[in-house]
A and B are shown apart, each in its own frame.
Chain A
Amino acid sequence: MKYAYYPGCSSESTSRDQHSSSLAVAHALGIDLVEIPNWSCCGATAAHQTDRLLAASLPAANLLIAREMGLEVVVNCAACYSRLKTANHEVTTHADLRKKVGKSLGREYDGSVKVRHLLEVLLEDIGLETIQDRASHSLNGLKVASYYGCLLVRPPAVTRFDDPENPISMDRLVAAMGGESLDWPHKVECCGGGLSMTRTDVVVRLTDSIIGMARDAGADCISVACPMCQINLDLRQSDLEKKTGRQYRMPILYISQLLGLCLGIAQSELGLDKLMVSPSMVLNAVVAG
């Protein structure tokens, strides 16, 4: 199985661990991720808030390269996933914008390149049975709160990812790996990722609510699939402690890291040393067999 892989800018900074763990997991499961050559920034929230043409053209530039590769695009970052899918939606539903995007890139783009999140590939193309067959370790009843955030599921008409109100993609993976997937109400709450630098006060309140709810649900850790959610929930726990006195020490792991542990991939390859809150509790729970 071969895909064009769009790593996104955070793969070179805040989410190196998601990048390395995803590549390792993909390799272990026989998924061939071919990095889009000379990929550029999708524009993220900044372009989206600045100009509609810019927000569509920047992702389209990458999708055009993928079209030449003749492959579907796989994305790891939920924000990039959202921007690439939105660009496809925009150019397929607005002919005038499609024309402008074509002019800005010097080539026509019709929105036909399929964009998928790695989670979708794992569940739809690989399948839980294969993953279970390849797993050498188990989460051994570890209680995991799967947190999806905003960008994977919203707007549902564009992303079409799982159930926008109660997604279960990660939960299914967690259960297949022997973990206890928790039913909790904050799966798709916003963590305030986009405001992490500018409105820390808001972010601390939102992360407090999410991590607090996960703890009340009995979670040993939270699994995520979005770099913004991960860094926000992981990094802001120290601020939370200072402002509220609450010490959660809740490990925030990418689902690819949890999956990697079960596939017997080395911790260094999974980037577990890059997490701010120690994942030692998770590591102690994972057992062979």
Chain B
Amino acid sequence: FGRAYDLAVIGAYKIGTKTFMKDTDKFPSMLKKKKIALLPSFGADRRTVKRVFKEVAQDKESRK
């Protein structure tokens, strides 16, 4: 998305570590206070971010 999407990061972390129940008690209040965004932000210059990641991957490859 070009900007951090907390919900996806948290979800991926929970799946990866199988800690599904950890901190779930925080979720309702954070959601209520809009401290967690349900939807990602689409305002970023995604093309540049994509280009950076591509160039960095190529740079890594060339260093191998």
Segment 14-64 of B: residues with Cβ below 8 Å from A: 22-23, 25-26, 29-30, 33-37, 41, 43-46, 48-49, 51-53, 55-56, 59-60
Residues of A within 8 A of B43 (CB): 38-39
* Pairwise interchain contact A9-B4, C-beta atoms closer than 8 A: yes
How many residues from B make CB contacts under 8 Å with A? 31
Is A14 interfacial (CB 8 A cutoff)?
A: yes
> If A41-B49, A58-B49 touch, does A235 touch B6 (CB 8 Å cutoff)?
no
Residues of A within 8 A of B29 (CB): 276
Instruction: Name the residue in B2, B33, B41, B52 with the highest tally of chain A Cβ atoms < 10 Å from its Cβ.
Output: B52
* Pairwise interchain contact B4-A104, C-beta atoms closer than 8 A: no
Is A54 interfacial (CB 8 A cutoff)?
A: yes
How many residues from A make CB contacts under 8 Å with B? 32
Is A40 interfacial (CB 8 A cutoff)?
A: yes
* Pairwise interchain contact A104-B52, C-beta atoms closer than 8 A: yes
> If A16-B35, A39-B44 touch, does A61 touch B23 (CB 8 Å cutoff)?
no
Is A1 interfacial (CB 8 A cutoff)?
A: no
Is A13 interfacial (CB 8 A cutoff)?
A: yes
Residues of B within 8 A of A13 (CB): 4, 6, 34-37
Q: Chain B contact residues: over half helix, strand or loop, or mixed?
A: helix
Residues of A within 8 A of B59 (CB): 53, 100, 104
Name B54's closest neighbour in chain A (CB-CB).
A104
State in angstroms the CA–CA spacing of A86 and B2 once bound together: 20
Chain B positions within 8 Å of A, measured between CB atoms, are: 2-4, 6, 10, 13, 22-23, 25-26, 29-30, 33-37, 41, 43-46, 48-49, 51-53, 55-56, 59-60
Chain A positions within 8 Å of B, measured between CB atoms, are: 9-10, 12-14, 16, 38-41, 44, 51, 53-54, 57-58, 61, 65, 100, 103-106, 197-198, 200, 231, 235, 238, 273-274, 276
- Interface CB pairs A-B, < 8 A, 18: A9-B4, A10-B4, A12-B41, A13-B34, A14-B6, A16-B35, A38-B44, A40-B3, A40-B48, A41-B44, A54-B53, A58-B49, A61-B45, A100-B55, A103-B55, A105-B48, A105-B51, A276-B33
